[in-house]
Each structure stands twice: as C-alpha cells, then as structure tokens.
Amino acid sequence: MTEITDSIDVPEPGTTQDDKETEKKPRRGGKRGKKGPLGRLALFYRQIVAELRKVVWPTRNDLITYTTVVIVFVVAVIAFVSLVDWGFSKVVSYVFG
C-alpha cells in the first residue's frame, strides 16, 4: 500500500519508504562531535538564551493575581488538612482513650 505525501519524488521500483529514510539519516560525528567541551557549553548557553527569548513573561498584575490565588489555595488546603487531622485525633482519642 502506498502513502500519499506532498513530495513529488517518484519512488523507484523495488524500494520502500523505509529504504529511503535509512539513506537520508545523517552520519554521526558531524559538527557537534568535533566541538570540544567549551564549544558544547557555549552552544548550550546560546540555546538557553534563544529559548528564554521565546518566553511570554507575565505582567506585574498577572503575577500578583497568580501569587494571590496560589497563597489562598494553599491556606485553604492547610485549613482542610488541619481540620481533618483534628477530627481524626478526636475520633482516635474517643475510641482508644
């Protein structure tokens, strides 16, 4: 069964799509393999800076809103867990005490 792709390449008789993909794989030891440790470290930091430039940073108002929501949620969870713990301690002291 043949797949329809956007390519205009006509496959040669007797070859499959898998054969073509194995031919196009790059060899190991290209540009990255020839750099030393400092070159790889510099590349790493350049990639970090490039990714950080893509980040959409929140505005001050968004940051305050998000922080407030998180603090309120954490306080609510602490109150719930404390109430359940207090209830269990009363039940245990009633049963065993």
Q: Spell out the domain ranges in the chain.
A: 58-97
CB 17 within 8 A of CB 3: yes
Helix (H) or strand (E) holding 70: helix 60-96
Quick one: the chain helix, strand, coil %, rounded to 5? 70, 0, 30
pLDDT of residue 42: 93
CB 32 within 8 A of CB 40: yes
* Distance from C-alpha of 63 to C-alpha of 43, rounded to nearest angstrom: 32
Output 45 or 28, whichever has higher pLDDT.
Answer: 45
Lowest mean pLDDT among 28-37, 46-55, 73-82: 28-37
pLDDT of residue 84: 98
Over the chain, what is the mean pLDDT? Answer: 83
Is residue 9 predicted with pLDDT exceeding 80?
A: no
